[in-house]
Structure formats: structure tokens, C-alpha cells
Amino acid sequence: MTAPAVGFVGLGRMGLPMAARLVSAGFRVRAYDISRPEGIDVTGDVTEVAEGAGAVVLMLPDSDAVEAVLEDAGLLAAVAPGTVLIDMGSSQPLRTRALAARAAERGVRLVDAPVSGGVKGAVDGTLTIMAGGDQDDLDRVRPILETLGSRVLRLGPVGAGHALKALNNLMSATHLLITAEALLAGQRFGLDPETMLAAVNGSSGRSGSTENKWPNFVLPGTFDSGFGLRLMLKDMRIAVDLAEATGVASRLGRACADLWADAAEHLPPAADHTEIVRWLRENTA
């Protein structure tokens, strides 16, 4: 039996291990990335990933990049009717819905399936996948999604996945910043950060920041989670705009996004999002 063919666009720190998992699982992957990384077959033109593919995964940073690949670079015109496009990056929900409508005019389906779990989750295949789209379309690409993640959740129609991904990252970013403020205060009071984390992680203040980001990336001083600070800020702004568009006053979210924007102005362009802690340390009197 011939292995199913999958196109894959975007071989960054998340995309490359995800594409590699598909290859290991027996899928025939035709991939494209402008950096042409080693370790996977990469085509010379993005439209070539469409050849024979029933599905094309897009692991790109934002709506601008997705639309540039699909419309400006011609990928949407190259895929066959009936193909399912899977946008697994972090895009703007309303733009995703509009793009899905334009794809449908060509007989092409689109689902949004952004992920949470970081580079480790991409390598291990333990990502949480937040999916939006028609149930039939998601059922068609479920073998792909279940190869990449341990939890695949359909949240609603197209755009629902991107909406929750942004809202999740707003929550995550807020957790990380308030955790930094609290633990820095504790350290200046004379408390040991590892002991504080041990206590908090058995208490009501625990979060992904206290259980994962601080012990694995902040305390060791590596600040290398694999997710950029500016990507986090982009998702936070999407979430705040979405909240306010629905009539929810996002006062805390807006204030937190403003603080992250301040950090982005002072940290290097490639700064990891966990470096918000470094910035806070250096900017606390």
C-alpha cells in the first residue's frame, strides 16, 4: 500500500521535528522552507509540495506568512480540489475564516490546528492540537494530527483553534510575568527560588510557568524554550483584540501586552519568550 503524501511548509524549530515525525510514521512528506534545513527532503519551490498531496501542513508564524505562501507564492492555485490545508501556526481567527472561504471557492478545504507543547512536544509527538473546521475535514486529516499530538480537540468551526491558541498564550504570558514578579520579590526577601517553586507547585499558585518554564529555562539561565518573545507578543495582541471585539474588557490582558511590548523593544530580535524574566530583573529598581 502506498504511503499517503503530505505537503509541509515551514521547517523551523517546531516544523522540522513535526515533519520528521510524519516521515517516521510512514507518510511521504514533500516539504518546503526558505532555509532548506538538512534531515528532510526539501523541494525547490513551495508549489511542489502540492504534488500528489491530499493534505498540506502550514507551520508558519502568522496570517501574513500563510497568505503569502498560499496566495502570493501560488500554493493555493497549485493544490488539487479536495485537498485539506492545515494551518498549524498562530494566525488571526477572522483572517483564517476569510482565507477558508477563498479556498472553498477553489474546492480546497482549510482547517486551523495550532499547537501547544513547545519544541519538546513537537519532538515527542505530545502536542495539544486545538482544531477548528468541519468535522469531516478534521476526520480526513486526523491520522496526521494524531501523529503530531497526543490530544486533538475540535473546538468548533474554522478559526476556533486560532482563537483559543491566542487566548491560551495570553494566559501563559500573563502567568509567566506575574510569576517572575512574585519570585523576584521572594528572592529579594531572602527566599530560595527552587524552594519557592517546590512550595508553589503544591499550592494554588502553580502554572505552566512554575512547573515547566522556570525550572527548565529560567533557573538554569538557558532561556531556550524555542518560542520567541515577539511571537508570544503577537499572539497576546490577537487575543486582546479578540476579547475586546466580543465586548470583553481586557484590562489586564492589555496591560500585560504593553509590558511585553516594552520588553520586546529592549531585548534582541531573536529573544526567547522566557527572557521576559531577564528583562524584568534588569528593569526592577
Closest by alpha carbon to 134, among 107, 156, 149? 156
The radius of gyration computed from the CA coordinates of the chain, to the nearest angstrom, equals: 20
β-bridge partners, 110:
85
Closest by alpha carbon to 18, among 137, 182, 147? 147
Provide the pLDDT for residue 72: 97
β-bridge partners, 228:
272
Burial grade of 28 (CB within 10 A; 0-12, 13-18, 19 or more) = middle
Provide the pLDDT for residue 285: 64
Q: Which are the catalytic amino acids?
A: 165
- Is residue 2 scored above 70 in pLDDT? no
Average pLDDT of 183-200? 98
Average pLDDT of 266-279? 97
The percent of residues in the chain predicted with pLDDT above 70, rounded, is 99
| Contacts with 244 (C-beta within 8 Å, 6 or more apart), sequence order | 250, 254
pTM equals: 0.93
- Is residue 221 scored above 90 in pLDDT? yes
Burial grade of 264 (CB within 10 A; 0-12, 13-18, 19 or more) = buried
- Is residue 1 scored above 80 in pLDDT? no
> How many Cα atoms occupy the beta-carbon half-sphere of 188 within 13 Å?
9
Contact 162, 235 (CB under 8 A): no
Average pLDDT for the chain: 96
Average pLDDT of 241-258? 96
CA 208 to chain centre: 16
- Is residue 284 scored above 90 in pLDDT? no
Taking the CA atoms of residue 263, residue 264, residue 270 and residue 272 in that order, the dihedral angle to the nearest 10 degrees is: 40
Average pLDDT of 177-181? 97
